[in-house]
Amino acid sequence: MSEPYWVALASAPVDYKGAYDPAVSYVQGDVVAYNGVNYIAVNPSLGSTPPIALPPAVGIGTSLPTGAVDGQEFILTDSLTTPSYTWRLRYNAAAAYWYFIGGSPWRVAVDADETTTTTASYVDLTTVGPQVTIPRAGDYLVQHGVDFYHSAASAQWGAGLAVGAVTPTGTAGRVIEGQTGPGASVAFNNSDKAFFIGMNAGDNLRERYISNTAGTAHWRRRWLELTPVRVA
């Protein structure tokens, strides 16, 4: 195996010889730029083009690496064998946050048709949720939806996002609200999205339900999708 002439230079700043020129004779210690990468000569050469530097491997795991450097990328998942989500993140050292740059949202669904009677406040159904436990502190985009129908010809209802068992609010698009009609048992499908800022790791986020019209409210095909904006 022949000896190398160039190696990629990771440190900066440096004293450049300028862009690599195949017509220039370089000596040990010369630094050039080639294809956006800095190289330092480890042996004298003429016309020996620096090798293409491969990008660093992107790690994957269930927890983010410590000691991250600016621009580092990592794929965060909840399981290496049966993942519910895979989020590709890039670290911003100035903000001390990992920013979402691609991947699949965490989608949770409950298809079963479950019922409530008249309620004065938001409640959980027999199958709680759909729900997720926030994996990392940070800001998230949440989208959710539900199919609804009622035994009465007209019914007022709402499906809201709640942190834990608190009552959902109508701010920031967190509550889907509607009124059925014109006849009983007419199904409605609706969805909404909201930003949740400053979530804590371990927070339980779930959909809860209200129908203040006498009779039986039916809820089915409920779903929730969680996508990070940035996480710590």
DSSP three-state, residue 35: coil
Q: Predicted confidence band at 12 (pLDDT cuts at 50, 70, 90)?
A: very low
User: Which pLDDT tens digit goes with each residue over 139-150?
Assistant: 999 999 999 988
Q: Are residues 202 and 146 in the same domain?
A: yes
Q: Are residues 138 and 187 in the same domain?
A: yes
Does the pLDDT value for residue 1 go beyond 50? no
**Domain boundary at 81, 103, 125, which?**
103
Distances (CA, A) of 90 to 68, 93, 96, 156, 222: 10, 10, 11, 44, 32
Q: Are residues 93 and 197 in the same domain?
A: no
Q: Are residues 85 and 151 in the same domain?
A: no
Q: Within a domain: residue 64?
A: no
User: Which pLDDT tens digit goes with each residue over 57-92?
Assistant: 788 999 999 888 888 899 999 999 999 999 999 999
Q: Within a domain: residue 192?
A: yes
Nearest to 89 by CA among 67, 108, 61: 61
Does the pLDDT value for residue 112 go beyond 60? yes
| Cβ partners under 8 Å of residue 138, min gap 6 | 97, 98, 199, 228, 229, 230, 231, 232
Q: Within a domain: residue 142?
A: yes
Q: Are residues 13 and 79 in the same domain?
A: no
**Angle at CA of residue 29, ends 27 and 33, nearest 5°:** 90
Q: Average pLDDT of 101-109?
A: 96
Q: Are residues 114 and 97 in the same domain?
A: no
Total of domains in the chain:
3
Q: In what order do the strands lie in the sheet with 37-41?
A: 6-8, 37-41, 31-34
Q: Within a domain: residue 62?
A: no
Enclosing domain of residue 76? 71-103
Q: Are residues 150 and 112 in the same domain?
A: yes
CA distance linking residue 185 with residue 12, whole number of Å: 68
Q: Within a domain: residue 183?
A: yes
CATH of the domain at 115: 2.60.120.40
Does the pLDDT value for residue 171 go beyond 80? no
Place of tokens 């709680």: 128
Q: Are residues 98 and 162 in the same domain?
A: no
Q: Within a domain: residue 35?
A: yes
